[in-house]
Structure formats: C-alpha cells, structure tokens
Amino acid sequence: MTIGLYAVINKNTGKTYIGSSKHVELRLIHQKSFLKTGHPCMIAALKNTSINIEDFDFKIIAETKTIEEARELETAFLECFWGDWLYNKAIHANGSKGVKRDHDTYSAGAKKQWNDPEQRAKKMAAMRGKRKIVECPHCGKTGGGGNMRRYHFEKCKSK
C-alpha cells in the first residue's frame, strides 16, 4: 500500500479534494464508495445533489515514506494553493471535518464521563450481557467465549 497524497477531481467543475492517507489506494476506494452511496464525505458541497461517479478522477499525487510526511505535505499544499477550486473545508485539513482532533481534549472529556457515576452506570449497563461467558469442560475455568475458544480450549493443561 502507498503512503501519500491523493486527489479527487470533479471533471465537470474542476473542483478538487486533496487528502492524505497511509493506505492511499484503499482510501480512494472508500471515497468512490462515499460518492456512490451519498455518504456525507469529504465533498460536503455535493450533499443532496445527484452524483455520477464517472464525473470524478481519483489520483495519487505524491508518495511519502511516513504518514506524518504525507500530512505535512497535505497541509503545505493546501496552504500554498488554497482557493475556491478546493472542496476541503479548512486549510489545516487533517480528517473528515477538516480539523484534527485534539487528543488531550478528547481524553479529558472521556475521563470526565467515566468519573460521573450516572454516566458510568449507563455505560456499564450498556456493556453487560454482550459478552458470553463459557466454561472449560476440562478444568472449569470460565471466561469470554471468543478468548476461551481462541486461547484456552485447545491448550488446556487438564485436557
């Protein structure tokens, strides 16, 4: 798989979306799928309009060695060539919303939710019952069904 920069180009209007990915070929397949299904994708300006996938070109613009290099190149490209011909929502685009999520802010919010007893109870209730507990017929050890089948049953020392 290629790490690098890609472009989705509207042949009719000339408008372009520039993106970066650590699996460019796979990302272009996703972009085609988003356009075909009307998924709210990177080209938000096309929402609620009829789209013909044949009106778009999907190209790899540049290859890089790391995803960090690809993101830096994407940001530099957008800063240098920013204009009405781009679908990107922000010059500093790093993600579907055009802005990279701040990990510290996200982490603080998640911790705050888990520290709230009411929210914690809701989350714990939602998680209960989804995991099937099974017992080893040889030694009586219990655990999650998937893990027990995957790691214990065939290797049980009491077998």
pLDDT tens-place string over residues 97-146? 445 556 788 788 888 888 989 988 888 877 776 678 889 988 999 888 88
Cα(111)–Cα(108) distance, rounded to whole angstroms? Answer: 5
Task: Kindly state whether residue 114 falls inside one of the protein's structural domains.
Answer: no
Structure tokens at 147: 């893990």
Q: What is the mean pLDDT of the chain?
A: 80
Q: What is the pLDDT of residue 121?
A: 87
128 vs 69, higher pLDDT: 69
Cross-strand pairs, 56: 10
Per-residue pLDDT for 65 more than 90? yes
With respect to residue 47, please indicate whether it lies within any of the assigned structural domains.
yes
Kindly report the pTM of this predicted structure.
Answer: 0.54
The domain of 19 spans 4-81
Q: How many domains does the chain have?
A: 1
Band (60; pLDDT cuts 50, 70, 90): very high
Confidence of residue 84 (pLDDT cuts 50, 70, 90): confident
Residue partners of 26: CB distance under 8 A and separation at least 6: 1
Q: Is residue 48 part of a domain?
A: yes
User: 80 pLDDT exceeds 60?
Assistant: yes
Residue 56 belongs to a domain: yes
Q: How far is it, in rounded angstroms, from Cα 32 to Cα 140?
A: 51
Q: Average of pLDDT values for 148-154? A: 84
Tokens for 91?
Answer: 């010059």
Query: What does DSSP assign to residue 98?
Result: S
Tell me whether residue 60 is in a domain.
yes
Closest CA to 14 of 98, 61, 67, 84: 84
More confident site: 45 or 10: 10
Which CATH number belongs to the domain containing residue 54 in this structure? 3.40.1440.10
Q: Would residue 53 count as lying in a domain?
A: yes
**Chain centroid offset of residue 153 CA:** 35
